[in-house]
Amino acid sequence: MIDEIVISKAITETFYKEFLDNLESDVIICGAGPSGLCAAYYLGKAGIKTVVLEKSLRPGGGLPGGGMMFNKIVIQQESKSILDELGVKTTHYKDNYHTASSLETLSLLLSKAIQQGVGIYNCINAEDVMIVDEKVTGVVINWTAAELARLHVDPLTMRSSYVVDATGHDAELAQVISRKSGAQLLTPTGKVVGEKPMWADKGERDLIDNTKEAFPGLYVTGMAANAVFGGPRMGPIFGGMLLSGKKVAGLILDRLKNE
């Protein structure tokens, strides 16, 4: 006999046990798009306690949509080793261009990150950051449903040594720091510089340079990096997103090792 209350207890007890444990971690990544998931995979693989917060019901950000809903992505040679490592099938198109299924890429990024022990929470919005002594020390969270329904519900908090803004074009965490605290970001203007119009080649190159600390304790990766430091968009080439995620994981690993 299947008991409905046992099912409810199994879900709530299992969820909360893991959630309580993840209230404090080494790294919180906000945004489960390609850059955030790739960073999570490499941090998890290195044994770093990592949490990913995703405000949507469905993780993946812009990845599953490929280019204009044609669910393929293009990656350049330099990033192919990442998809190879994840076990994603790639097809050579021409010199320096490979294609892959956006869905296979998302499902393997997600499953490999989870298998490395990363705690991934969908439907949770990182609405603000905690700043203590001028360093980001965690994030302020709430159910996305509460935000969508405009309910006046006070949030909870999660603490970590480092936070990664992987929220895509809107660079939501960097924006909130600028807007609410008036603090200076580590950009030439002290503010979010803003994403530039499409230029795929420069966008992909700038993205790697722009993947760095944007405020003490806050790193930026993916489109958020180009939005914060002012790089162009690049359309549906996703190699830079993967390389940026891998880079930010490496930068944080170095910081954690040297502490």
**Dihedrals phi, psi of 215, to nearest 5 degrees:** -160, 145
Minimum distance from CB of 73 to ligand 48H (Å)? 9
**Dihedrals phi, psi of 65, to nearest 5 degrees:** -75, -10
Distance, CA of 26 to CA of 46 (rounded, Å): 12
Residue with tokens 């950000």: 61
Minimum distance from CB of 125 to ligand 48H (Å)? 5
User: Which of 79, 125, 161, 211 touches ligand 48H by CB under 6 A?
Assistant: 125
User: Which of 166, 220, 243, 252 touches ligand 48H by CB under 6 A?
Assistant: 166
Residue 239 binds ligand 48H (CB under 6 A)? no
Of the two residues 76 and 125, which places its CB atom closer to ligand 48H in the complex?
125
Of the two residues 32 and 48, which places its CB atom closer to ligand 48H in the complex?
32
Q: Positive or negative CA dihedral for 147, 117, 75, 199?
A: positive
User: Which of 26, 33, 163, 242 touches ligand 48H by CB under 6 A?
Assistant: 33
| Ramachandran bin of 234, using left for φ above 0, alpha for ψ from -120 to 50, beta for the remaining angles | alpha
CB 75 within 8 A of CB 45: no
User: Which of 25, 167, 175, 211 touches ligand 48H by CB under 6 A?
Assistant: 167
* DSSP H/E element including 93: strand 90-94
Give the residues lining the site for ligand 48H (CB under 6 A).
30-36, 53-56, 61-63, 125-126, 166-168, 172, 198, 222-224, 233-235, 238, 241
